[in-house]
Amino acid sequence: MFKILQNSWALFLGMSLIMLAYGFQGSLLGVRAVQEEFSLTSTGFMMSGYFVGYFLGAKYITTIISRVGHIRSFAAFASFASVAILAHSIVINPVTWFLFRVITGLSMASIYTIAESWLNDRSSNKNRGSVLSIYMIILYGSMGFGMFFLNFSAPENFEPFILISLLMSVALIPILMTKRKAPSFKKILPM
With bands split at pLDDT 50, 70 and 90, how would you rate the model's confidence at 29? very high
Q: Are 167 and 145 in contact (CB under 8 A)?
A: no
Dihedral sign from CA coordinates of 146, 28, 149, 83: positive
Convert 42-93 into a string of H (helix), E (strand) and C (coil).
HHHHHHHHHHHHHHHHHHHHHHHHHHHCHHHHHHHHHHHHHHHHHHHHHCCC
Please enumerate in sequence order all residues whose Cβ is within 8 A of that of 12, keeping only pairs 6 or more positions apart, or say none.
5, 134, 135, 138
Residue 185 is predicted with a pLDDT of: 63
Please enumerate in sequence order all residues whose Cβ is within 8 A of that of 50, keeping only pairs 6 or more positions apart, or say none.
101, 102, 104, 105, 108
pLDDT at 137 over 90: yes
For residues 48-61, give the mean pLDDT: 96
For residues 15-31, give the mean pLDDT: 96
Residue 187 is predicted with a pLDDT of: 61
Report the percentage of the chain scoring pLDDT > 70: 95
Residue 122 is predicted with a pLDDT of: 83
Residue 182 is predicted with a pLDDT of: 72
Dihedral sign from CA coordinates of 11, 13, 18, 22: positive
What are the structural domains of the chain? 2-34+50-177 (1.20.1250.20)
With bands split at pLDDT 50, 70 and 90, how would you rate the model's confidence at 148? very high
Q: Is the pTM of this model over 0.85?
A: yes
pLDDT at 191 over 60: no
On average, the pLDDT of the chain sits at 91
With bands split at pLDDT 50, 70 and 90, how would you rate the model's confidence at 123? confident
Beta strands in the chain (DSSP E): none
How far is Cα of residue 136 from the mean position of the Cα atoms in its chain?
13
- Going by C-alpha positions, the residue among 146, 166, 24 that lies closest to residue 83 is 166
With bands split at pLDDT 50, 70 and 90, how would you rate the model's confidence at 188? low
For residues 122-138, give the mean pLDDT: 90
For residues 55-73, give the mean pLDDT: 92
The Cα 183–Cα 167 span in angstroms is 25
